[in-house]
Structure 1
Amino acid sequence: MYKVNAGCHYFCAFILNVDFDNFLLILMKKYPAKLLLFGEHTVNLGSQALATPLPLFSGHWDFSENKNEWAGRLLEFAGYLNKAPLFINLDINRFKKELSEGLFFNSNIPTGYGAGSSGALVAAIFDRYCMVREGRDLILLKKVFAQMESFFHGTSSGTDPLVCYLNKAVILNKKEIKTTVLPEMQLPFKLFLLDTGIKRQATPYIEYFLEKNKGVYFNKKIKKNYLPAVDSAIDCFINKKWESLFSEFNIISEFQYLYLKKMIPDKFNKIWKEGLESGYFKLKICGAGGGGFVLGMTNDFEKLKSEHDGLCFLKIPGNDVL
């Protein structure tokens, strides 16, 4: 991505009539990616969900002297926001003006991965252009973000932008949202990401899950085995019950392997099964499934990497804290 020099930053601060130090703070603020640890799909059926910022990837505002590939799309988004019946007031005129002056969102968050690429952008736009932010509760914020992000996905829960905006972990269900501080994970246990290298759209997998849930047998399995495991996993995580979390992780992984196999990319079936049969690592879908990242838990990360050196494993930053 093209980087502008300090002279251009001074010029932009001048034409926008803002203090240069404050201007740099605005540009330097990062909006992290988001990681859904537990609760994909099941949150719509009544389970909890646990999501956290993923600082491995982020985006921030920047200025470029050259027109960038996102300029047209951002102008379309500005037009959408100008017409949408939003619950809040955004300074759209300022947004359009700054876009014409070279503003762009410089992001390394992978798209099509369920990591919150559009969520981080929505959070950044809200943070920069919302005219009144005080006194808004998390439920209302989530609704606002859902309105905004629907431009990119047709429909949105608003969770991704909320996590990116707050830069805090959240526990949520259909009725409430609360922020939380994730405890330090006790060694040797670690969470990691497995990069499938596959971009996907979430909607087909959401529809697939909902369609499967119409089946009586599947619905019974969901209620009896899957939802309790998801809620228990979140409880174990928050309460530092690492051995129990590993067990719940295994239940979730096995359920997905047996009943949601379409959500597991074919070339990862072998390692998924190996994880179920092993005593040292487990895998689960991360987000909608079908590609993007796979979330894993292990008690021997180095062994896992050495035995599968052809795969891309990402250690989550602050994993000892995550």
Structure 2
Amino acid sequence: MSKLELNSNIHNYEVAFCDSFNFLDDLMNIEKKVFVIDKNVYKLYKELFKNIRKDELFLFDAIEEKKTLKTVEKIYKFLATKDAKRNITLISIGGGITQDVTGFVASTLYRGIKWIFIPTTFLAQADSCIGSKTSLNFETYKNILGGFYPPNKIFIQPDFLDTLSKKDYYSGIGEVIKFALLKESYPKDFNSIVNMVEQVKRKNDRLVTIKKTMQVKKIYIDEDEFDTGKRNLFNYGHCFGHALENSSHYEIPHGIAVIIGMIYANIVALNRSLISKDIYKFLNKKLFLPNIPIKLNIKLFDEKILLESMKNDKKRVGKDLTIVIPTDDDIRAIKVDDLTFTEFSKSYNQLLKILKLK
């Protein structure tokens, strides 16, 4: 079992990369614990969890609509009945939604309790499990409640990915692509990134790829844990991508929305003469378009909802829109706050043509 140590101003934590499920036996030996598990994960892997006592188990529907304070309150009520208080360990098992909800709970209950996270989606394993963020949705606003509170320990077991649907698996690939493009290595070897993605699509080298992705993210969060500067660049693909999740009512999953968001960001960059047409076309042809495995529909791309969502982006600081775009052919990214509504609409229509929706 290899490990990755991460530093945090809150508390340092560790990622353990596992080649079996034996680590679950060690968790069962923790004296004062509760498990909060995604219902779907529990159903798929019930045999793994057969030794969990009913009074230590809380199951919930880990869907975007449940990433709210109401779900958090239900978990509070469950935990508050336990004799153990600040010395309890919360063990959460699931994807990014499970992470966000349980991380919020762990950070706020009794002013902070011990928390162990076992991510079961590609998206959570390759991206969200490290970095300390916890986020909840409020009404129509995405991820505007939350804070920073890392798990004390994370266990990565890539065999969990075998039961993901195709679109959820590719959702993780979307974030892998983003981190590979943001890696501070110049000049960029785009063919190597394409080859890595092709291997992962064949379910090869997943653990190696997850480790590489984490190493890229670690460099950014070591410098900017609380997202006040450099870490903002992780929003490459996210500014439009989050808006697209909202417009599609989450029919387009996060990582695939991020891929489309990167296409959109590159359109803005191309129109501003920041990247060449050759690199723009290469990335679309080799990296972005081949990794959108779902059928897209123009109804999912409601321009009014997309614009309104970008207006409500918590990163927005002025009258124009905020977006992260590349500044050159090595995809060195910057955050800009001057995307005009006219520029938004022009880029939106160009995107529809690329996606063959217009």
Give the TM-score of the pair, scaled to structure 2: 0.30
Give the TM-score of the pair, scaled to structure 1: 0.32
Higher relative contact order (CA 8 A, sep 6+): 1
